[in-house]
Amino acid sequence: MVIFRRLALHRFVKMHPPARQVSPAPDELVTAYEGILPASLLELWRRKGLGFYGDLQLALIDPRAWQPVLDRWIVSPPDAVRRIPIALTPFGVLLYYRKLTSTDEDVVYIDPVSKRTGDLAWSLDDFFNKIVCEQDQLETIISPPLAQSARLECGVLAPGEVYEVDHMLLPMQMVRITKVNALDMHRRLHDAVDPHEPKADKPTTVADALPVEYRSMFENVETGPRLAGLYLSSYLDDHRLLALRPDGQYYLLFWQIHHKTFERIEVRAYGGSYEVSRNSDGDETVELEIELRSDSPGSDSNDVQLVAMYTNGATLLLRTNELEGMATAIGAWDQMGRSGDYFRRVTLDDAVLEEPSDGRMAPPFADLPLALQALVHIEPLLPMITHVAEPNPDEEDEGEGTVMCTLSLGEDDGLRMNMPLFSPKETGRQLEGWIWEMAPNACKAGITYRRGENGVIDHGPVVGDVLTTRAQE
């Protein structure tokens, strides 16, 4: 009879089973960290492997790929205690291990967004078998509701990806989550706080903005029939240039312009065939044949299907998988939504104009593609609050918080995930929130509240409050 010894980190594996893609780590990796990392973690690598564990998608990582990233965040003298990256949360928080003395160790986190760092556990085994396995302690590093929302909105993560929350939208009580390359996100967020000297000229034209080695690719692209021409999409430092050639071939270039050095970085190029057709609504559409590479972020395929919009002499191409988000932004603020979700026709000689990151003003309703018109609520929806949950003081920040409210309308009535909600102007109220949980007839929304100096809520939702999907002007 064969007796199998239980893993030292068995509780972690039981609570957070490895994903199907997890496979045993190569022997050379395990051997490289013997005597450096605890035997319990090496055993887990050997018998299970690296990759995602559990529905929360906590990733065990190869320290070799992440060591340069950690060393950029924390610069230490040569004789300092060694820090070894071991795991990554679904939102990019990097976890690392330190052997402090012959008997002492700890697991520490560094958050690339807040730039905060701190101890999580004084034992690696305790971190995996206790901290990550007990709900109240797990929430110190991963928000299960936010992780669940990200998974529902964006799908499961691919290897090397994390979810990124658009913090520019949080003041507007909106939550927008996208999937990004984890290493790229860390580099970008570190560069944002690390001073740099300019290494290139600030671009003045579209041609100037391109990486030099790719400029010839986009020269002599004729503006012709059936949408042929050049189209630019810009969102903060991220840029994409799409060339639709008259012969049915396309080029698509991704790159960033470093906001301090003006270097062209994170460059990726695709090419292939495209097809122009019409959808069931009669809108003109473009479909790109994009083949992702092994190092491609999954988000590179978001431009596969585009729909054309003609307005005021301009031609735009809109991502079809973002039409609902655009409709929400149009209904709330008369804006097109995130500027990275559409292209605008340009020439290489056009001046570089900064596109508003939250989108340009929406065109007249009649100019919108019919597929987008069908999603825009000309008259705002007016859900009423039918139930208010008990606020959780532990989740408040200086007396302000968000409470879950049940609404009288649902998905069948036109409400959408992350749709913003406001008090109608005529009510004199200033409630704000967003749809957080979907249901056919009674969605739930997070609505903000505020306590007065006496600790009593003096500004918050009550049953009977009417909300609107249209922001107050």
Structural domain includes residue 262: yes
Supply the CATH number for residue 265's domain: 2.40.128.640
In a domain, 3, yes or no: no
Domain around 225: 206-373
4 located within any domain:
no
Range 292-312 average pLDDT: 87
**Which one has a higher pLDDT value, 195 or 38?**
38
Instruction: Indicate whether 28 and 91 sit together in one domain.
Output: yes
Residues facing residue 268 across a β-bridge: 254
Number of domains into which the chain is organized: 3
Residue 167: predicted pLDDT: 63
Q: What share of the chain in percent tops pLDDT 70?
A: 94
| 174 and 211 fall within a common domain | no
Return all residues near 428 (Cβ < 8 A) that are at least 6 apart. none
391 lies in the same domain as 357: no
Instruction: Decide which of 167, 192, 217 is a domain's last residue.
Output: 192
Residue written as tokens 């609050």?
A: 385
Pair (219, 250) in one structural domain: yes
Among 155-159, 196-200, 423-427, the range scoring the smallest mean pLDDT is: 196-200
Clarify whether residues 152 and 246 are in a common domain: no
3-state secondary structure of 293: coil
Distances (CA, A) of 140 to 109, 176, 421, 436, 464: 11, 21, 29, 21, 35
166 with 274, same domain? no
Residue 472 lies in a domain: no
Please report where in the chains the tokens 């701190």 appear, as a residue.
Answer: 118
Domain boundary at 373, 394, 414, which? 373
Same domain for 327 and 434, yes or no, is no
Domain assignment present for 311? yes
- Res 79 pLDDT > 70: no
Q: CA 403, CA 448: separation in Å to the nearest integer?
A: 6
Both 59 and 131 in one domain: the answer is yes
pLDDT tens-place string over residues 384-431 = 999 999 988 776 667 788 899 999 999 999 999 888 999 999 998 989
The predicted pLDDT at position 393 comes to 79
Q: Are residues 168 and 265 in the same domain?
A: no
Helix (H, G, I), strand (E, B) or coil at 341: helix
Residues contacting residue 24 through CB under 8 Å, at least 6 positions apart = 45, 46, 47, 48, 49
- 245: pLDDT strictly greater than 80: yes
Show which of 338, 373, 408 is a domain's final residue. 373
The pLDDT tens digits for 310-344 are 999 999 999 999 999 899 989 988 999 889 999 99
**Could you tell me if residue 415 is inside a domain?**
yes
Per DSSP, 230 falls in state E
Q: Which two tokens stand for residue 288?
A: 């790109």
Residue 195: per-residue pLDDT = 57
pTM of the full structure: 0.60
Asked if the structure places residue 468 within a domain, the reply is: no
Average confidence (pLDDT) over 76-105: 88
Shared-domain flag, residues 166 and 302: no
Confidence of residue 173 (pLDDT cuts 50, 70, 90): low
429 and 303 within one domain: no
Give the model's pLDDT for residue 114.
Answer: 83
- With bands split at pLDDT 50, 70 and 90, how would you rate the model's confidence at 1? very low
> Which is more confidently placed, 77 or 437?
437
Classified as helix, coil or strand, 430 is coil
Is it the case that residue 108 has pLDDT exceeding 60? Answer: yes
pLDDT digits (tens, 9 = 90+) for 26-66: 888 899 899 899 999 999 999 889 999 998 899 999 998 89
> Of 348, 42, 353, which is closest to residue 221 (Cα–Cα)?
348
Q: Is residue 341 part of a domain?
A: yes
Assign 239 a pLDDT band (cuts: 50, 70, 90).
very high
Give the model confidence (pLDDT) of 269-287 as tens digits.
999 999 999 999 999 999 9
- 66, 146: one domain: yes
Higher-pLDDT residue of 355 and 327 is 327
